[in-house]
Amino acid sequence: MLDELEKLVSFIQKKYKELYNEWKKSELYDPIHQKKNLVKDINDNNNILNNILNYRAFINDKSLDLKIAFNNLNLDSEINTRVKAQNSIEYKISNYMSDKHEYGKIPLNKCFNDLYGIRIIFLDNIKYEEIKKFIDYKFNNKLKCYNASKGDYVATHIYFKIDNYVFQWELQIWDKFHERTNIISHEQYKQNYTKWEKENKGGESF
């Protein structure tokens, strides 16, 4: 499992860097510091939301090629990818404007760290502590490895970032034992934003 994880993480780093360079050269790119700007600033600066949606459109155009590239890794474990749907982005902004998130006084990079997501589902159970120790060692403590387990959701998330001007990618690490309860947790979250907006604009594959 850990050999597969190392291969996958190295591949994500490579693809993330390639598209990081391409995005920065794009006419759509508008440099916004995601650590200094807060979610609440979206209300006063239309460029922030435009930048988020433009990056979503950019990465969505690349999503099929990325999916094929991930499949060509020929890992034994299941791999899924998705681009975050626009209605999910809008719901997340609304949610972060609430008292649960200090009325938007949260840096953008804390909120928009999963516009593009990859998920690997291992056949065997693997604990966060084992993953973190391995990732820290193999990648010289340069990747953020986060214990995302909460309630019935059991997972480790790894985040990919080069600087504070380009959106992060998220790798979710699941195992088959917790797959069903994790999916139920995701469906409960999705029900919240589909109620919030009646028309689903689509875009997500997991």
pTM of the model: 0.90
The tokens describing 65, both together, are 């090629």
Per the document, the length of the chain is: 206
Q: What is the pLDDT of residue 42?
A: 95
Phi (first) and psi of residue 188, to 5 degrees: -65, -40
Q: Which of 158-162, 181-185, 188-192 has the highest mean pLDDT?
A: 158-162
**Which DSSP category does 30 fall into?**
-
Token look-up 């006419």 returns: 27
Q: How far is CA 130 from CA 126, 134, 144, 149, 160, in A?
A: 7, 6, 14, 14, 19
Q: Is the pLDDT of residue 194 over 90?
A: no
For 53-99, the pLDDT digits (tens) are 999 999 999 999 999 999 999 999 999 999 998 888 988 898 899 89
Phi/psi for 172 (5° steps) reads: -100, 130
Nearest in space to 97 (alpha carbons), one of 150, 44, 161: 44
* pLDDT at residue 137 is higher than 60: yes
**pLDDT of 107:** 95
For position 200, what pLDDT does the model report?
45
Q: What is the pLDDT of residue 199?
A: 47
What span, in angstroms and rounded, lies between the C-alpha atoms of 110 and 130?
24
Q: Is the dihedral of CA 160, 163, 164, 166 positive or negative?
A: negative
Binned at pLDDT 50, 70 and 90, residue 185 comes out as confident
- Residue 4 neighbours by CB distance under 10 Å: 15
Residue 78 β-bridge partners: 121
Cα 159 to Cα 9: distance, rounded to the nearest angstrom: 10
Contact 168, 19 (CB under 8 A): no
Which pLDDT score is estimated for 159?
A: 97
